[in-house]
Structure 1
Amino acid sequence: MKQGFIKAAAVTPKIRVADPVYNGRIICERMEEACAAGAKIIVFPELCITGYTCGDLFLQQILLQEASRQLLEIAAHTKDKDALVMVGLPIEREGRLYNAAAALWRGEILGFVPKANIPSYAEFYEGRHFTDGNREPVPFSFEGKTIPFGTNLLFACETMHGLTVGCEICEDLWVADSPGKDHAMKGATVIVNLSASNETIGKDEYRELLVKSSSARLICGYVYTSAGEGESTQDLVFGGHNLIAENGIVLAQVKNFGCETIYSDLDIERILSDRRRMGTFGQEPAAAYVKVPFRLEVTEDRLDRKFMPLPFVPGKQEERDRRCEEILSIQSHGLKKRFEHTGLHTAVIGVSGGLDSTLALLVTVRTFDLLGLDRKGIFAVTMPCFGTTDRTWDNACRLAHTLGVTLEEVDIREAVQVHFRDIGQDSSNHDVTYENGQARERTQVLMDLANRHGGLVIGTGDLSELALGWATYNGDHMSMYGVNAGVPKTLVRHLVKYYADTCSDTELSAVLCDVLDTPVSPELLPPVDGVISQKTEDLVGPYELHDFFLYYMLRCGFPPAKVYRVAKQAFAGEYEDTVILKWLKTFYRRFFTQQFKRSCLPDGPKVGSVALSPRGDLRMPSDACVSLWMQELEKL
């Protein structure tokens, strides 16, 4: 429960139809297992105490009475359990029968949530037995106690900020105006669904889509538990399709026509962060709500949830290729609009033989092809200086040749030496002035060439460099349109690889593959024996770590300690904890101190959910203080 994580379990027991005594015992056994696994929210299927397929037996008083007795037994079993447990059963109230969920906690029945939408179509005939549930809660006398009864019940945890649970029952998810919508608007961050959804061809895919879309639209965690083996197969078969989703992502699911339990950790803090960003939650629903408090012990349990080390990069090849194609289209169409608006027909781009400038050149070529312009209007400029190696220079030239663009070379060594003499810089002193003097000279050359050719300077810097401020102010920091501004470094590599795999040009593919094998470097320090001596990741840290930090800090709103916790899990066995912490401190320090570079960022297209434009996603003061974040890191 620390840092916003809460473990949920979707449990499908193997029941017997119309045997509440047996079912109650099995439910208690499965509850024990879920609690032992650390689950704090435990959800059982619809009508699981009796079975969903009882038919007209639901009208038998003996079945209803035994179901109520077993509910009391199950509730008593929760007395020493640190969990909110949801179970389904038929409940009679004022001469009507309701398909309801009972919320159990510490031996108490906190409330009854009736099913709001009763299906009576196709294979369903619930209207024969059950009544639509009342939305506004009313007092209900059950076994000598007054318990709230209504769809608009929320269960609010007093010991975990933001954890509020709302409930739907099966059909409620499938209708246009689901109760979950109002639950979320009233503050529910987790929706549980007790279901008995039978299997037909393709229904599982549609069911998954509904759960994913509901969790995305409502920005919530969604725990869906369905009936499985044990229900009558007289006319229907139940697959035990259980799902746990959050914000449109399925965290866990199973459908094996059996009876399994799935677990996952919902992140309440992230849900709240996304809702704060949207700002559309908290509106008053039409009907009144009642919030019922409960408490859970605050513990730090093992996380079953997995955190991928490359959050910007899809894990599956097919999805990764699709993502790469989409990003290249966004980049090239953004640049296309800029050329159409300005009426210009030439582009100037500095090519170093490195990843970023290679991607920018590929995007520019694609843009010219879209516009029907001659690729010779693209001026690829190589500007060798003190740190340039034969390998990178050769790759830059080969790229220009294979792509059919115009190659220009401007050796800036002499110009930089003159500049150093003008400002009194000792050229043997390889300090920041030595490095930045070269970077600014390169940008001046590009800008002036753009004036001479009547074109645009295309920026090459990527999202990761912007986050770290790894750019020379008014040097490579500046351009007339930065096509890579929204692309993190870990994804740049895959974009270039995708181009190499799909370009159908063996020579171009070979060059791109060699670029991919070249260490990332600004090449501002002299090489040693002809080999790159200045490796970026040795200086600022591995980009895969920084991209991970950036995603979870900015996109998910994680505080430093939480970023560190999930990073340790994601990179276990690859980086020691001390190394992760070292570079995490570097990330926060640089992210805050380098905002002034992002505050005057050139135009460039947003391509993903994380962006740093001062005109869009990140409106951050350049003089914001990092001390609060660093103080938390120092405690780790």
Structure 2
Amino acid sequence: MNYGYVKVAAAVPRVRVADCKFNAGQIEKEIIIADGKGVQIIAFPELCITGYTCGDLFAQQLLLEEAELGLMQVLNTTRQLDIISIVGMPVVCEGQLLNAAVVIQKGRVLGVVPKTYLPNYKEFYEMRWFVSASDVSARTVRLCGQVVPMGDNLLFETSDTTFGIEICEDVWAAVPPSSSLALQGAEIIFNLSADNEAIGKHAYLRSLLSQQSARCLAGYVFSSCGFGESTTDVVFAGNGLIYENGTLLVASERFSLEEQLVISEIDVEFLRTERRVNTTFAACRRRVAPEAAIRISTELVNSRELNLMRTYDPHPFVPQGPTLDERCEEIFSIQVAGLAQRLTHTKAKSAVVGISGGLDSTLALLVCVKTFDKLGWPRKGIVGVTMPGFGTTDRTYTNALDLMTSLGVTVREVSIKKACLQHFEDIGHDASVHDVVYENSQARERTQILMDIANQTWGLVIGTGDLSELALGWATYNGDHMSMYGVNASVPKTLVKHLVKWVAENGMDETSRSTLLDIVDTPISPELIPADENGNISQITEDLVGPYELHDFFLYHFLRGGFRPSKIFFLAVRTFKDVYDEETIRKWLQTFLRRFFNQQFKRSCLPDGPKVGSVSLSPRGDWRMPSDASSEAWLKECEG
């Protein structure tokens, strides 16, 4: 299986202006290398057979003939290869000259796409030599002895994807041709360009391509002229850029003096899911009625074994890169803004939070503190309640008290041991049997205490449960599952851990920072089973349901990409190859799928809570699934 991946390349060959034989040789070399690497479609820069900067030489008959001979040379050299190549050259049609992209495969010309928007301002004056695709009535052209389709509305269909083409200035237009092509089914857009460099232009170009690929819910492959073009007035840096739905997958080195080949895989299966989910895309297709595209079938080729070059982040929910602080602050601010609105709307006089000394309750408390500070309310209005039970350890108990004290909130301690023992006696349960009754009774007792204290103080119970727990159903129904507002409801466990650490390292006093960092390092546990003989946590969540970093990886790709189990497994094995073996990944993927389906009933009645990222399980928003949906197909594929 190729799991929907299409391997594409943007080539930036060396050129000699007006030396078509040399340029054709450079193009051939890059095509052969790309084919050897399993590339299915490769794009070259605008007018790469002649060079973009030929100027008035484009009016020379000899240059035009040499360009066609150069294309024939490429056709003959690559006729045994499966790869589809898109090259730029001047093409004569009905006595007019077109700046065109020519699609070739296995010795055949599949189609010709002329440039629509010809820049004729500042350093550009293409209308001096070329005519626009809009000004040509012909729908075929003779090239290299073949009569082939021509037009700006050609779609090329392979066994794996459908792609379209635009040229340079086309994407800078108010309504790029790629928008129409995408609405008609193009999943990947190739752009052959001669984009020159100027201060600040490169950043703008990247933003433009990113936005267009996102707007079209498409892959976008951009190849621009590089070393060898004339530098009489401008300089070309040789940009090879590949995007997928707004995300840059790979980029070439700018201003390289050598030829370059950038390769990546575009996940068209993911793009198809995005288009199915995004109803705006379908609405645009109905509203905009573009000229019907001409569909061209490419040669059927033998599939190759997938050798995935692109990598995936093992922690897809955790912000990365130079914007880390900005992203963390944004996430935290969304939580704070949500809680502030709920507190002011309900005219609550307090916020009641159960503090266990664990990650989730810590983040919820930090959100409350920031919210009260922002509203100008005294922190004493936050009631932190620690409720030691049978499994509470000294470490978590001490951290809970130290954190509340250092943050200046109201501290209350209510032991649940007597109440639970009385409850066990009332219902006839043996307290020495540490089963689900033993565990859930404690969780429900804690929730009852919080609800009643909220009534006492005219406040709201702030939920602490996170997205990962909701996905796995790792919560006691009508226990920690319930609250009056769940600030962590769409924050996964890996992100909770990261946010607590980020808060600790940004603006906290030394005492609070020390406590927060120790909480980050504490094993994740509900602490419902008594500690071991050394007083250490005996019930470690990740030993029971699996590593949260795996479950968050599964969750992200299951929901965000709509991926099937075999594809998630394939990606997880590659991503965690140095951490978990295949059998371990398969085991926890089965656990994830089984629990995700079986525990939907808990998510169907979730309290309100703010969405902070692209994935949420709110039954009122992102995820609506019947509680009795069958998981058989998913588990069967996972077992296989």
Q: Does 1:369 align with 2:373?
A: yes
State the match for 1:241 in structure 2. Answer: 239
State the match for 1:548 in structure 2. Answer: 553
Assess, with a 3 A threshold, how the Cα gap between structure 1 residues 76 and 431 changes in structure 2: closer, same or farther.
Answer: same
- Rounded to whole Å, the distance in 2 between the matches of 1:145 and 1:30 is 24
State the match for 1:129 in structure 2. Answer: 129
Contact 1:460 1:484 in 2 (8 A): yes
Amino acid at match of 1:233: T
Equivalent residue runs for 1:182-197 within 5 Å: 182-197=180-195
Contact 1:186 1:285 in 2 (8 A): no
Q: Does 1:568 align with 2:573?
A: yes
State the match for 2:600 in structure 1. Answer: 595
Q: Does 1:421 align with 2:402?
A: no
Q: Does 1:325 align with 2:332?
A: no
Amino acid at match of 1:368: F
TM (norm. structure 2) is 0.97
State the match for 1:269 in structure 2. Answer: 269
Deviates more, 1:229-238 or 1:93-102: 229-238
Contact 2:17 2:54 in 1 (8 A): yes
State the match for 2:474 in structure 1. Answer: 470
- Rounded to whole Å, the distance in 2 between the matches of 1:206 and 1:476 is 48
Q: Does 1:346 align with 2:347?
A: no
Task: Please give the secondary structure, in 2, of the residue aligned with 1:502.
Answer: coil
State the match for 2:411 in structure 1. Answer: 407
Cα deviations by residue, 1:194-239 (Å, 9 ceiling, x for unpaired): 0111111222111111111111111110000011111111222111
Task: Please give the secondary structure, in 2, of the residue aligned with 1:471.
Answer: coil
State the match for 1:430 in structure 2. Answer: 434
Contact 1:79 1:106 in 2 (8 A): yes
Q: Does 1:293 align with 2:297?
A: yes
Task: Please give the secondary structure, in 1, of the residue aligned with 2:81.
Answer: coil
State the match for 1:147 in structure 2. Answer: 148
- Rounded to whole Å, the distance in 2 between the matches of 1:495 and 1:104 is 51
Amino acid at match of 1:251: L
Task: Please give the secondary structure, in 2, of the residue aligned with 1:100.
Answer: strand
Task: Please give the secondary structure, in 2, of the residue aligned with 1:408.
Answer: strand
- Rounded to whole Å, the distance in 1 between the matches of 2:349 and 2:377 is 7
State the match for 2:385 in structure 1. Answer: 381
Task: Please give the secondary structure, in 1, of the residue aligned with 2:70.
Answer: helix
Q: Does 1:80 align with 2:80?
A: yes
State the match for 2:564 in structure 1. Answer: 559
TM (norm. structure 1) is 0.98
Contact 1:486 1:608 in 2 (8 A): yes
Assess, with a 3 A threshold, how the Cα gap between structure 1 residues 136 and 167 changes in structure 2: closer, same or farther.
Answer: farther
Equivalent residue runs for 1:401-550 within 5 Å: 401-528=405-532, 529-550=534-555
State the match for 1:156 in structure 2. Answer: 157
Task: Please give the secondary structure, in 2, of the residue aligned with 1:322.
Answer: helix
State the match for 2:211 in structure 1. Answer: 213
Contact 1:599 1:622 in 2 (8 A): yes
Q: Does 1:608 align with 2:613?
A: yes
Q: Does 1:394 align with 2:395?
A: no
- Rounded to whole Å, the distance in 2 between the matches of 1:183 and 1:257 is 31
Amino acid at match of 2:427: I
Cα deviations by residue, 1:19-74 (Å, 9 ceiling, x for unpaired): 11111111111110011111101011110111101111000111111211221221
Cα deviations by residue, 1:71-90 (Å, 9 ceiling, x for unpaired): 12212333221221100000
Amino acid at match of 2:488: N
Percent identity between matched residues is 54
Contact 1:450 1:456 in 2 (8 A): yes
Contact 2:32 2:78 in 1 (8 A): no
- Alpha-carbon deviation of 1:330? 0.5
Contact 2:357 2:396 in 1 (8 A): yes
- Rounded to whole Å, the distance in 2 between the matches of 1:143 and 1:487 is 59
Task: Please give the secondary structure, in 1, of the residue aligned with 2:531.
Answer: coil
- Rounded to whole Å, the distance in 1 between the matches of 2:220 and 2:155 is 14
Contact 2:38 2:304 in 1 (8 A): no
Contact 1:78 1:104 in 2 (8 A): no
State the match for 1:583 in structure 2. Answer: 588
Task: Please give the secondary structure, in 1, of the residue aligned with 2:3.
Answer: helix
Amino acid at match of 1:285: A
Contact 1:189 1:221 in 2 (8 A): yes
Q: Does 1:21 align with 2:21?
A: yes
Task: Please give the secondary structure, in 1, of the residue aligned with 2:133.
Answer: coil
Which of 251, 254, 257 is 1:256 aligned to?
254
- Alpha-carbon deviation of 1:625? 0.4
Amino acid at match of 1:341: H
Cα deviations by residue, 1:428-461 (Å, 9 ceiling, x for unpaired): 1111111001001110111111111111000000
Amino acid at match of 2:294: V
- Alpha-carbon deviation of 1:400? 1.1
State the match for 1:39 in structure 2. Answer: 39
Task: Please give the secondary structure, in 2, of the residue aligned with 1:68.
Answer: helix
- Rounded to whole Å, the distance in 1 between the matches of 2:397 and 2:151 is 72
Which of 618, 622, 625 is 1:620 aligned to?
625
Contact 1:137 1:289 in 2 (8 A): no
Q: Does 1:355 align with 2:356?
A: no
Contact 1:500 1:513 in 2 (8 A): yes
Contact 2:490 2:612 in 1 (8 A): yes
- Alpha-carbon deviation of 1:189? 0.4
Contact 1:204 1:241 in 2 (8 A): no
Equivalent residue runs for 1:162-177 within 5 Å: 163-177=161-175
State the match for 1:138 in structure 2. Answer: 139
Deviates more, 1:611-620 or 1:370-379: 370-379
Amino acid at match of 2:441: G
Contact 1:346 1:378 in 2 (8 A): yes
- Rounded to whole Å, the distance in 1 between the matches of 2:224 and 2:468 is 43
- Alpha-carbon deviation of 1:287? 2.0
Assess, with a 3 A threshold, how the Cα gap between structure 1 residues 610 and 303 changes in structure 2: closer, same or farther.
Answer: same
Task: Please give the secondary structure, in 2, of the residue aligned with 1:525.
Answer: coil
Task: Please give the secondary structure, in 2, of the residue aligned with 1:2.
Answer: coil
- Alpha-carbon deviation of 1:143? 4.1
Assess, with a 3 A threshold, how the Cα gap between structure 1 residues 36 and 501 changes in structure 2: closer, same or farther.
Answer: same
- Rounded to whole Å, the distance in 2 between the matches of 1:331 and 1:414 is 35
- Rounded to whole Å, the distance in 2 between the matches of 1:72 and 1:191 is 25
- Alpha-carbon deviation of 1:137? 7.1
Alignment RMSD (CA, Å)? 1.2
- Rounded to whole Å, the distance in 1 between the matches of 2:301 and 2:622 is 36
- Alpha-carbon deviation of 1:425? 0.9
Gaps of 5+ in 1: none
Contact 1:137 1:153 in 2 (8 A): no
Assess, with a 3 A threshold, how the Cα gap between structure 1 residues 330 and 512 changes in structure 2: closer, same or farther.
Answer: same
Contact 1:136 1:287 in 2 (8 A): no
Q: Does 1:50 align with 2:50?
A: yes
Cα deviations by residue, 1:498-551 (Å, 9 ceiling, x for unpaired): 111112411111110111111100000000121100000010000000000000
Name the count of aligned residue pairs: 631
- Rounded to whole Å, the distance in 2 between the matches of 1:209 and 1:38 is 29
Assess, with a 3 A threshold, how the Cα gap between structure 1 residues 207 and 255 changes in structure 2: closer, same or farther.
Answer: farther
- Rounded to whole Å, the distance in 1 between the matches of 2:508 and 2:450 is 31
Task: Please give the secondary structure, in 2, of the residue aligned with 1:192.
Answer: strand
Task: Please give the secondary structure, in 2, of the residue aligned with 1:288.
Answer: coil
